[in-house]
Amino acid sequence: MDELAAWERLTLLLDDDALLWPRVREALQSEDQDPWEALLDGLDDAGALAYLDAADTGMELADALAQLPRVFRLQPDLGQVNDTDDLEAAIAIADRVLAGGGFRLARLQDDEEDAHALAVVPGGNVAEILEVSAHLERSVSIVG
């Protein structure tokens, strides 16, 4: 798979927002833009990315996830996520809750050390997301 096709595929696997791929493609064609940053910014603008700091709690994670379109449509019970002050534990709980609805929580590489960039992705896309992101030498991990 060539680089352009891999970037297009990754954007489609992560989110179906019509503006996401054109934004990433434009960054790929520019010498001064990073396509990964364009992808993160595009996901954020589409409302498909939850940004959290390491000091955040489960309550803040639950609030952020509830705003994401896929989670909003699914309406999962995120009560267990609220019950912990440990963000890593809350992320693991949220992934288990989302898996019950056919989704998974993906952690996307962010340059800020204490930041967590999280996207909710269809469970059926996980293997290909990991494969394509590795091909592009970008870090995406599935929480569970």
Listed as ranges, residues in the chain with pLDDT below 50 are none
Predicted confidence at residue 115, as pLDDT, reads 83
Please state whether beta strands 50-53 and 115-122 pair in parallel, antiparallel, or not at all (unpaired).
antiparallel
Instruction: Please list, in sequence order, all residues whose beta carbon lies within 8 angstroms of the beta carbon of residue 94, skipping any fewer than 6 positions away.
Output: 61, 62, 65, 78, 81, 105, 143
Predicted confidence at residue 110, as pLDDT, reads 82
Q: What is the pTM of this model?
A: 0.90
Alpha-helical (H) ranges within the chain are: 3-14, 20-29, 35-45, 58-66, 69-74, 79-82, 87-99, 126-135
